[in-house]
Structure 1
Amino acid sequence: MGRAVADEQALAILYDLALTIGSEVNVAPLMLRTLQRLMYHTGLPVGLWLGWPEEGGKTAVLELAIGDYHLIRRKGERLALPQALLAGPPAMLEAAEMLGALQLRKPLGTVLRLPVPGHGVILLLGASAPLTRLSLPELFSPILERLGRSITLCRSYELEVQHRVEQTAYYDPLTGLPNAILFNTTLQQAVVQARATGRWLALVHLDLDDFRPFNEARGSDLGNQVLIALGQRLGASLHPGELLARIAGDEFVLLLPDLGGWEDVDERIVRILQTNRTPLEVAGEVLDLTFSAGIALLPTDSPDGDTLVRHAQIALHQAKQESRGYFRLFDGDQDRRTHARRELLRRLELALVNREFRLFYQPKVDMPSGRVLGFEALLRWFHPEQGMVPPGDFLPVVENSDFIIALGEWVMREALAQAVSWRIAGLETCISINIAGRHLQLPDFPERVRHALADVPGGRAESLEIEILESSVLEDMAHVRDIMRACSAMGIRFALDDFGTGYSSLAYLHQLPASTIKIDQLFVRNLFQHREDPTIIQAVVQIAEVFGRSLVAEGVEDPEHGMLLVAMGCHVGQGYGIGRPMAAEAVLPWVEGYRARREWTALEGLSWHRGLYDLFHLRHDHRQWREQVSGWLASREDGDAAMPPAFDTCGLSEWLMISAPTGASSEIHECFRLLGRLSEQTAQLAALRESQSFDACSECLGALFLASDALLQLLDALAVRLAGGSST
């Protein structure tokens, strides 16, 4: 149904049409704008301008079509239409049968015929006549005479030239589809129409998946044919009133107006999805190419056309991140999360200005000797209202932004200044800092390091080590290698962080001037969960020896982690089992009080034996059992808490009988005695707790810990025997 036309609008309509006709000097834009304005004022969705090769001819030529993509593609064709439809004065007709020859995609039965003297006829098509008391044929009659005279004046050699210019301005020369300009114009009109009618409007932003590498590999000629074929396939699925445009490269947009709600949206989207299921056949070749799409709706997602376009682009980006060939409706929650990330980044930039960031320092030590070798600087944010913000809450946002460069510059200078302060206090050490890939890959990064050294009075290059990730190297290894060499020439050291987690560790280890390898904490923490991790660490130890690199193991959280690492030849560790990250003022007292663990010192210089893994694993399990017993005893309120089983059920007895080293019968015998004693003490503790004799429980727990300590010392002695060494 056309929209209602009020009586008082008549003069305004005539004035608008007269202004439109008088403002153009070329036939094509004249008729395009006139037809658009006629369609706008009547609300009829399809408009045609038909002419004849010569006056009185019987075959109509389709000069212009708007609102039906099928007819737009037939522009210039001669159409055999009934004379009763084409000839005659202005009139409103019911002509469903006569319109059959047009092969419209949607049945339309009402025609407003407006003959243009000497230049054919305008037909405005709709499902029903506009609601008005005005006689539209009479209203438009004066305009038609003037329109005919204007067309006559515009007919000239320049008509063809201007026509081509208009085609270039509004249509894509490759596919023949509307371009971004015509799309934007149509979008704004569709938004106005949707607001007026209360109907929904959908915008679908499509993009071919992996088209750039395809185009580079197969050539632009085939790529162009793919774009043409895709445009034709998508266009074939259009309904009357819908628009398909190519707006850039391999990007297309679909404008789907006049939707009644979610049910219509689902039906239209399913139709588009079906075009993505079948491979494209281009130049006799079947190509399995897909496209991803983002969909935004008015009014549910967007109040206006510009926001609708932006939301469809966001949805397309989300679809590309999830999977190729995927469709995604705009997610307002996701958009809000994106906005929240932007706000957090803005707040972090302010935090740098306000000096809310601090560096904490985690020690790296030679585990057998207890010598402190250096510290890793770790960023902490102290929010004035929230206190210390966990790094995981803000670092992921920083790492994917250019702000990471400014933050890295600050970290570099702060670490250098702290090293100077400690040197004055008597601690000569090296501080490791983490530098992001986009910072490291700056062409002037060596100059930035040189400026940082100059900015810190007393700053020394040997006090700074830069840790880099494999991901920051792979994009341009040659460039990164040159940067590292330039920095190394100043005395800066480099460490390869999280070694073993990437895909080409050996390749970049061989080429890059890094003096240190850091074993990723994932391997160390899971030493007793994944039996293959010790093998990986052994391989890294051998690689480090071959390439002459130092080795640091991250994630040392338990004594047994350190024992296993030392036994395998990795002596330098870092982790909570050595020291937690601490404020700068806490470092000197910590260094003063730190001592090497007895268990680690005893294993220095011994040979690796595969049986050590099981022994250290059992030692680790025993210490965990102690903690469980202590925790069970401390939970006095929970009377139903189950007592941990005796440690002997954990497999130590079996190991002593099968895998213990020869010549240690006395130690083995004592281990069995202590296991029996621990079993008795566990049962005694259970009875005392049940009787609520808590003072006696504490005394019994102390005796149990003494027996446990004796057992651990015996296990350490067996480890030394197993490795073929002797205790010192």
Structure 2
Amino acid sequence: MVAYIAYYLVLVGFTLANNRTYIARLRLSAENQSLMDALLEEASSREEVIASRTSELSLSNKQLAQQISRRKELERRTQQDLELLNSVINATSDLIFYKDYAANDGRYLGCNESFINFLGRASKDIIRQTDRQFFSEKEVKLIHATDHIALKEGSHVVERWMEDPQGHRVLLSIKLSSFNDTQGNVRGVVGIARDITDQKKTEETLRFQQRSLEHLAHHDALTGLPNRLYLIDKLNHALLSPDLNTASLAVLFLDLDHFKDINDSLGHSLGDEVLRAVSRRLSACVRKADVIARLGGDEFTIVLQGIGSSIIAVEVAQKILKVFQEPLTLSDRTLNVSTSIGISVSPGDGVTTEELLRNADAAMYRAKRSGRNTFMHYSPDMTERALARLSMESDMHTALARGEFHVAYQPQVDMRSGELMGVEALMRWEHSTRGNIPPEEFIPIAEENGLILAMGSWVLEEVCAEQKRLKNAGLSDIRYAVNVSGRQLLNPEFLALVEHIVSTKDCSGSQLELEITESVLLHEPELAAKAMQSFREMGIAIAIDDFGTGYSSLAYLKQYPLNRLKIDASFVRDIVVDPDDRAIAQTIIALGNALDLEVIAEGVETEEQRAMLVSDGCSLGQGYLFSKPISPADLLVYRSSQR
């Protein structure tokens, strides 16, 4: 039992010892677990911090990488932009450079290819060099002067002639601008220079052309004289001058006599030569202060300023007429040219430009009507006549279209037997409101303004058409005389026109006669003879109308292919009572007989005139003794009454 108890006690003691050990172990294990938990908690906390810091660092690294990438991209783009800018700068033809004036010597910091080429140096030989290495001392002073203006004012533009490496002088337009350093202090200048040599030449050409256009706008291209626009401007200013209070102003209006005949017969080229020669003569007749203008065609105007009296204007007109007495020497001939002059003086004859020109023009037309080659001073009654003339001229332009013109036929008879031998076609104008207008009023105007060509063609067509109608009516053996002006005869197209009319109207040329005034022989004898010969070859007869009233040389008559002379009515009118008129008529009759030409007397109105003319050897007559001008129908009646 003791043993058992002892065993039990030993067992209990061992158990207690083991328990204490176990408990101690348990306590240690618990402490270790607590420590481990603390360590684990701390480790976990540190891991969180590390993870957070790692995340932050990763984000920072990412952001830094992005910044580096953006900076590299920016640097790449900047480099591209710089390369592009450099390419553009080098591609431009403008010279670009920049210079450093920090040390006040203006050394080159950079430039483009165009500037390098202009200097003819390599880039390395330009950078850090000054202008003295490339330009003369004189040019350097000019360059530095303009550079310093730009440094002071911020910018400056200058044009400068310089010499390129080939020795060519070029004009540069240089724009200078200052630039600053990093501290904001002015450091140097940037320059852009452009070669404007060709531009300047173009501008000069344009300016010259502009001046030429302005000159042409105010001057006559043919003669170089001022034109109407210039004249009116000068007159307007002159009339406003205070000098008019103490001195007069005169206007001379000139129109060349028979100039249209020159153009028609000799051509416009020679006509232009005449106008140039006339302008030179007129210029020699006046002072430099006076104005000579060509208004157009053959019209010239002279303005005399500051004259003390109208007598000065008369003296100038007389001087001009005297100068024109000398023939004009042209390239291949000499030509007699005269002029008619009208004078108006301010303030008596007008106080405005329009009045002075209009009144001088009216006076000129009076000079024309007075025989030409003279001058006339304006008088108030001329204005009414000038207005009437203008009205008539205006009406003439439409009279043909309105059918106001017609042809009347005056019989030409054998004064011994009374037999009808022919007729003269006479143009008549029955105005719609003014009634019958005499030929002596409208024919001279038509000759002056050129309408005579159209009117003459119309008359010829009417006569040729009437000739055929009368022939069909039984009147087939008479001659039809048609008046032809000098302008018509000498017109190069007139022959072809007559041929065309005769052909298309089926007219007999052998029954036509062209009556030409004696004055034509005076102005252009050779051309007149050539034209007359052409018509004679067509079978058309030629008569000299109003013979004895002109100044043609009798020696010329035998050179012309004539058929008939017509004694002017002025010699027939008083032939019975005036021995001189009879002597002239007898001379013309004798001349005609000597040259084997028919002679016909115009204006026979009395039996005494008829008898005297017949006794003197003139067998053909025309006048109111036999018949007034009549219609084609009355002409048939007239012929029937003779049988």
- Give TM-score scaled by structure 1 length: 0.45
> For residue 552 of structure 2, what is the aligned residue in structure 1?
504
| Larger deviation, residues 359-368 vs 334-343 | 334-343
> For residue 575 of structure 1, what is the aligned residue in structure 2?
623
Q: Identify the match of residue 361 of structure 2 among 293, 296, 314.
A: 314
> CA-to-partner distance for each residue in 1:213-268, whole Å, 9 max, x for gaps?
xxx9xxx9xx89x9689638xx7xxxxxxxx5566899753445xxxxxxxxxx93
1:100-139 to structure 2, matched below 5 A, reads none
* Letter in structure 2 aligned against 1:471: S
* Letter in structure 2 aligned against 1:314: D
Structure 2 residue 251 is the aligned partner of structure 1 residue 205: yes
The separation in 1 between residues aligned to 2:423 and 2:593, in whole angstroms, is 23
Residues 198 and 462 of structure 1: CA distance in aligned 2, closer, same or farther (over 3 Å): closer
SS state at 2:308 partner: helix
1:436-585 to structure 2, matched below 5 A, reads 436-456=485-505, 458-504=506-552, 506-585=554-633
Is the CA contact (8 Å cut-off) linking 2:362 and 2:383 kept in structure 1? no
Residue 382 of structure 1 and its aligned partner are, at CA, apart by: 2.1
The separation in 2 between residues aligned to 1:309 and 1:229, in whole angstroms, is 21
SS state at 2:309 partner: helix
The separation in 2 between residues aligned to 1:463 and 1:325, in whole angstroms, is 41
Q: Identify the match of residue 253 of structure 1 among 299, 303, 308.
A: 303
Percent identity over the alignment is 29
> CA-to-partner distance for each residue in 1:423-455, whole Å, 9 max, x for gaps?
111111221111111111101211010111122
> CA-to-partner distance for each residue in 1:551-585, whole Å, 9 max, x for gaps?
21222212222222222221111111122211111
1:240-639 to structure 2, matched below 5 A, reads 244-245=290-291, 253-255=303-305, 268-269=308-309, 272=312, 294-297=343-346, 301-303=350-352, 305=353, 307=354, 310-311=357-358, 314=361, 317=364, 328-329=377-378, 331=379, 333-428=381-476, 429-456=478-505, 458-504=506-552, 506-594=554-642
| Larger deviation, residues 374-383 vs 309-318 | 309-318
SS state at 1:511 partner: coil
* Letter in structure 2 aligned against 1:512: Y
The separation in 2 between residues aligned to 1:315 and 1:406, in whole angstroms, is 25
Residue 273 of structure 1 and its aligned partner are, at CA, apart by: 6.5
Residue 549 of structure 1 and its aligned partner are, at CA, apart by: 1.0
Is the CA contact (8 Å cut-off) linking 1:382 and 1:388 kept in structure 2? yes
User: What is the Cα-based RMSD across aligned positions, in Å?
Assistant: 4.9
Residue 479 of structure 1 and its aligned partner are, at CA, apart by: 0.9
* Letter in structure 2 aligned against 1:310: L
> For residue 134 of structure 2, what is the aligned residue in structure 1?
none
The separation in 1 between residues aligned to 2:304 and 2:583, in whole angstroms, is 56
Residue 380 of structure 1 and its aligned partner are, at CA, apart by: 1.6
Q: Identify the match of residue 287 of structure 2 among 231, 241, 244.
A: 231
Is the CA contact (8 Å cut-off) linking 2:404 and 2:430 kept in structure 1? yes
The separation in 1 between residues aligned to 2:608 and 2:440, in whole angstroms, is 28
> For residue 30 of structure 1, what is the aligned residue in structure 2?
none
Residue 275 of structure 1 and its aligned partner are, at CA, apart by: 8.3
Residue 393 of structure 1 and its aligned partner are, at CA, apart by: 3.6
The separation in 1 between residues aligned to 2:318 and 2:406, in whole angstroms, is 57
Unaligned stretches of 5+ residues in structure 2: 1-206, 220-224, 257-272, 321-339
Unaligned stretches of 5+ residues in structure 1: 1-161, 173-177, 211-215, 236-243, 257-266, 281-290, 596-728
Residues 561 and 448 of structure 1: CA distance in aligned 2, closer, same or farther (over 3 Å): same
* Letter in structure 1 aligned against 2:309: I
The separation in 2 between residues aligned to 1:375 and 1:309, in whole angstroms, is 47
The separation in 2 between residues aligned to 1:293 and 1:392, in whole angstroms, is 22
The separation in 1 between residues aligned to 2:509 and 2:426, in whole angstroms, is 19
The separation in 2 between residues aligned to 1:354 and 1:271, in whole angstroms, is 48
Residue 530 of structure 1 and its aligned partner are, at CA, apart by: 0.4
How many correspondences in the alignment? 389
* Letter in structure 1 aligned against 2:486: G
The separation in 2 between residues aligned to 1:301 and 1:499, in whole angstroms, is 43
Residue 508 of structure 1 and its aligned partner are, at CA, apart by: 3.4
